[in-house]
Copies of this chain bind each other. A is one copy, B any other.
């Protein structure tokens, strides 16, 4: 009895073409094979509509053709967009993405890393929060926005340059007194450099600036108080604010409007990330745009190219500024 409805295998192709199993394998993998054989095999593949079983391949090669992507969640647009672009790059290379939403849970993050060490995935691309994540020497891991440890390459946008660019843009648009706003724990994350870059930009452009960094144990209330403190006679003492993310910028803009400050007439706001409404409409706010497609490409490249002699510890990719309605574009 012939096989029922299950997919054709190499053996079926070999029988159909009248060649040996190994010959089919070579044709499938593009290894040199005599022309007459090659044609017969290709015809048989066409006829049977054969596709290789990558799980069997993986079993043999001790590979899974799967890469785990660790993000806190995929409901926040930035993480969703990141995962989206990584998925595209991986699929183009015949890899699968195992999407792991860690909910910023340190234990879960470690669990997924352990899983990778069990060879259930070929590598990990991770945007993680666990400060003591243990990653064994031989585990292929590429970090996003985090310097985890020596030997683990990190891909990030040019956070310092982005901060600087924000300051320059605010200066270009006529601001004199600006503020930097951030909420979040003070890990040694790459995005922290946005602050240093902004500071640098302010100094070189002669802007008065103030830095406000709030602990994330008491989020999204304190910054309102901070803004209120700086209102004298109905006027905010800042005419420009740089927020560490678009998400924060969005909240800040809402708060400013509640405090009767007009954006961008009274105060201009720049965020960071490049989030668009509904994924493809306008930018949520004027923003420093992260080059997500390029970052995704770079992560996968670093992870899968083993012939890379030495993995650079940090790769910064260039950012751009985009108008999103919360700045006055009259460059002087």
Binding site for B on A (CB under 8 A): 5-7, 49, 51, 53-56, 58-59, 62, 64, 66, 73-77, 80-81, 83-84, 87-88, 91, 96-101, 115, 117-120, 138, 247, 250-251, 275, 277-281
Bound together, the chains give a CA A5 to CA B62 distance in angstroms of 12
Check A98/B101 contact, CB under 8 A, given A5-B138, A77-B279.
no
Check A73–B247 contact: CB distance below 8 A.
no
Beyond the given A53-B120, A99-B99, could you list 4 further A-B residue pairs with CB under 8 A, ordered by the A residue number? A55-B58, A75-B81, A75-B280, A80-B80
Check B64–A75 contact: CB distance below 8 A.
no
A117: nearest residue on chain B (CB-CB)?
B7
Check A120/B51 contact, CB under 8 A, given A56-B59, A66-B96.
yes
Bound together, the chains give a CA A54 to CA B119 distance in angstroms of 10
Contacts of A87 in B (CB 8 A): 74, 99, 101
Check A76–B278 contact: CB distance below 8 A.
yes
Dominant secondary structure at the A interface: mixed
Check A74/B64 contact, CB under 8 A, given A6-B119, A55-B55, A56-B59.
no
The 8 Å CB contact of A96, one of B88, B98, B118, B279, is B98
Bound together, the chains give a CA A233 to CA B250 distance in angstroms of 35
Bound together, the chains give a CA A119 to CA B117 distance in angstroms of 27
Bound together, the chains give a CA A304 to CA B133 distance in angstroms of 35
The 8 Å CB contact of A101, one of B55, B84, B100, B118, is B84
Contacts of A279 in B (CB 8 A): 73, 75-77, 80
Check B51–A59 contact: CB distance below 8 A.
no
Check A62/B99 contact, CB under 8 A, given A51-B118, A278-B77.
no
The 8 Å CB contact of A62, one of B6, B51, B83, is B6
Contacts of A62 in B (CB 8 A): 6
The 8 Å CB contact of A75, one of B84, B118, B251, is B84
Closest beta carbon of chain B to A32's beta carbon, Å: 27
